[in-house]
Amino acid sequence: MTDHVARVIAQWRRERPDLDPSPQGVIARLHRIANRLTEELVAVYAAHELGEGEFDILATLRRQGAPYALSAGELAAQTMVTSGAITKRVDRCIVRGWVTRAPSDVDGRGRVVALTPAGRALIDAAFTDHLANEKRLLAHFTVAEREQLAGLLTGWAEELGL
Domain limits, the chain? 1-47, 48-159
pLDDT, tens only, 116-130: 999 999 999 999 999
> How far lies 108's CA from each of 17, 77, 86, 102, 105, in Å?
64, 20, 19, 10, 7
pTM, entire model: 0.86
- CATH number corresponding to 48-159: 1.10.10.10
Give the tens place of pLDDT for each residue, 3-39: 899 999 999 999 999 999 999 999 999 999 999 999 9
Q: Are 91 and 83 in contact (CB under 8 A)?
A: no
- Please, which residues bridge with residue 113 across strands? 70, 101
Alpha helix positions (H), the chain: 4-15, 24-47, 52-62, 72-79, 83-96, 117-137, 143-159
